[in-house]
Amino acid sequence: MSDLWIGDVDIRVTNLERSIDFYTRVFNLEEIDRGGDEDGRYVLFRDRRSGQRLELNCMPSAVRSGFPMFQARPSTILRSG
């Protein structure tokens, strides 16, 4: 298991299923919620060690409008233990 964990992060992605696979395999995150509508979908994860959360958002209309595909809050931190 990795010694890295994720701080609070909200990431916009173009391929939600591929991103889910990456974050569950690399960081061993636990999915705690998912939802959405015609404007977009999201998946919320929790880090099993720290309890911090990561939300992946896939918003096709935002991609077409040129909205940035990666957005991290200022508190985003990669930590090592």
Please list the pLDDT of the chain residue by residue as tens digits (81 residues): 667 755 678 888 889 999 999 999 999 999 999 999 888 899 999 999 888 899 999 987 655 555 554 444 444 444 444
Long-range contacts of 22-28 (CB under 8 A, 24+ apart): 23/54, 23/56, 26/2, 27/2, 27/54, 28/1, 28/2
The residues pairing with 58 across neighbouring beta strands, listed in sequence order, are 41
In whole angstroms, what separates CA 54 from the centre of its chain?
4
Tell how strand 40-46 and strand 53-58 pair up: antiparallel
Which CATH number applies to 4-75?
Answer: 3.10.180.10
Q: What pTM value is reported for the model?
A: 0.66
Domain edges within the chain: 4-75
